[in-house]
Amino acid sequence: MNVVITGGAGFLGQRLAKRLLERGSLSGPFGRAQHIDRITLVDVNPPPDWHDRRVAAVAGDIADRALLEHAIDSSTTSVFHLAAVVSGMAETDFDLGMRVNVDASRALLDVCRSRGERPRVVFASSVAVYGGPLPEIVQDATAVLPQSSYGTQKAIVELLINDYTRRGFVDGRVLRLPTISVRPGRPNAAASSFASGIIREPLSGEVAVCPVDPDTRLWLQSPATAVDCFVQMHEVAPSALGSNRIVNAPGLSVTVRDMVAALERVAGPAVTSRIRWQRDPRVEKIVATWPGAWDTTRAQALGLPCDEDFEAIIEAYVRETGSA
């Protein structure tokens, strides 16, 4: 079994690869557990050397079909498609977002189709597919109306995966992720970057700028739980998903004020004093279109896990990184 992870050099891709290596097997096309012989990490940036013969790296342009043909071979039974241009960058550079988020996804699905093996494809979608007037709690049946190019691009691929699955080309699964916090590393161009920055930077002794109102409500999930959800989405039986392959992942509905209060309980007021409140209309415009909570009854019935609370997420980040 060859498992392909696009975005394999990213922090979620690296965590997912580690989890799969520990697990050692996944369900194959007919539902039986198969040993993972190889994990192929695909990314524009070369992934680090894992010093593990089971891990291969393919570096290059995800929109290059030749690269995908090389990575996805006849032994590929599973694809985790995480690669994407993030929200802020997709809004700034429309053509880049379309090329990486839509064109590359279509090419990936076509390569999977050409192999004739009907691999399981788990796609990382986003809360950003929603927008416009929304109920307090978004339901599975709530129509998507993205108010950003990134959200639109994710919604397009969701529809493609449903149709490629209907036609029998792939066994597709779409996981709509909440905002992930706390992300390690440095800030990126995502509109949601502050959701990690206001925790990560103060814990590291740095000033963090929060660009939204403290009462802004976010739907959040920890990196560890996101990885668990990816694996569980892969393992769900096709019959349990039916014709609708899109699942809203479990998360926590918290305000930014709640997040800062949780940080203060974990690390103290000296840490939270490093947060500066400076609203950015560009970021607020994007974030305001995202739902603050959604109904996850279906996700829970399918066995997808949920975080306990945001304080526990911060504590896990502190343990992992040695912060504070």
Q: Tens digits of per-residue pLDDT, 269-298? A: 999 999 999 999 989 988 888 888 889 999
In a domain, residue 139? The reply is yes
Q: Say if 138 falls within a structural domain.
A: yes
Beta bridge partners of 179: 220
pLDDT at 190: 74
Contact 171, 238 (CB under 8 A): yes
Assigned domain for 152 exists: yes
Residue 52 lies in a domain: yes
pLDDT at 189: 66
- In this structure, are residues 157 and 107 in contact, taking their beta carbons and an 8 Å threshold? no
Asked if residue 126 belongs to a domain, the reply is yes
Question: What's the structural domain count of the chain?
Answer: 1
**Strand 171-177 with 120-126, pairing:** parallel
Any domain includes 194? no
Chain segment 25-49, per-residue pLDDT in tens = 999 887 888 999 999 999 998 888 8
CA angle centred on 102, ends 96 and 104, rounded to 5°: 85
- Within-domain flag for 233: yes
Choosing from 130, 150, 164, 317, the catalytic residue is 150
Whether residue 184 contacts residue 224, with contact meaning beta carbons closer than 8 Å, is answered with no
Question: Cβ contacts of residue 213 below 8 Å, gap of 6+?
Answer: 256, 279, 284
Give CA angle at 251 (250, 255), nearest 5°.
155
Domain, as residue range, for 110? 2-177+221-250+293-306
CATH of the domain at 57: 3.40.50.720
> Within a domain: residue 72?
yes
pTM to 2 decimal places: 0.93
- Spans of the chain, pLDDT less than 70: 188-189, 324
Whether residue 231 is preceded by a cis peptide bond, meaning omega within 30 degrees of 0, is: no
Distance separating alpha carbons of residues 274 and 203, to the nearest angstrom: 9
Determine the Cα–Cα distance for residues 115 and 127; give it in Å rounded to an integer: 31
Whether 317 is catalytic is no
